[in-house]
Chain A
Amino acid sequence: NAGVTQTPKFRILKIGQSMTLQCAQDMNHNYMYWYRQDPGMGLKLIYYSVGAGITDKGEVPNGYNVSRSTTEDFPLRLELAAPSQTSVYFCASSPLTNGYTFGSGTRLTVV
């Protein structure tokens, strides 16, 4: 049972490039989330999904997009990378509104 799997673990992007951060869970959880973690700022919710085909904005959605075509996958898309998007990104899943399981994170640097 892998839990929540994030790929890649590290990535360096140039300004203006695009990329997709992958997140997959094998626990059949309905709820999935993307957070970014910056020093001294805690975790900020970017987007979340309550089920396949349903997504909603969190606290800091600008510059990001998501999709949820299946229960298992919740990719996060950066279309035009900016230095302000340098951060550690965490994906999480939950069966309802409790019991969150976090992935191991993706460290992204935009230069």
Chain B
Amino acid sequence: AQSVSQHNHHVILSEAASLELGCNYSYGGTVNLFWYVQYPGQHLQLLLKYFSGDPLVKGIKGFEAEFIKSKFSFNLRKPSVQWSDTAEYFCAVIPGNTGKLIFGQGTTLQVKP
């Protein structure tokens, strides 16, 4: 079955620390890849997406992600986190042309001021 796995369930960082959240998917064909963020009490917002082309994708708020096809990975990075980045982060994949957006289980990021 198609699935998305996020390695870290809960990450705690201090402000200005660097962030990397892991994401792997299980699908051998073409994929569309996404990272979403959910701030406390809010709905999901798109951080960035990858469809094709440059595997290094830049999104909003200083986030970026790198698609490594050989590793089936799409890790999210930010060089220096802020307290306002405290949120839950979800990796998601559309396998092929299925139209189904499949989510990972999410990673809670807590940034200490």
Chain A interfacial positions (CB closer than 8 Å to B):
31, 33, 35, 40-45, 48, 50, 58-59, 90, 92, 94, 97-100, 102-105
Contacts and interface: CB of A to CB of B under 8 A. Distances in A.
Contact of A40 (B9, B42, B51, B102): B9
Q: Is the interface of A mostly helix, strand, loop or mixed?
A: strand
Nearest to B6: A42
Given A42-B104, A48-B99, A100 B90 contact: no
B4, B43, B92, B104: residue with the most chain A Cβ atoms closer than 10 Å: B43
Contacts of B49: 98
A100 B46 contact: yes
A99 to B, nearest CB: 8
Q: Interface size for chain B: under 10, 10 to 19, 20 to 34, or 35 or more residues?
A: 20 to 34
Interface string B28-45: 000010100000001111
Contacts of A42: 4, 6, 90, 103-106
A97 B97 contact: yes
Nearest to B49: A98
Contacts, number: 53
B98 to A, nearest CB: 8
Contact of A45 (B42, B90, B102): B102
Interface in B47-74: 49, 51
Contacts of B92: 43
Contact of A50 (B6, B51, B99, B102): B99
A29 B100 CA distance: 15
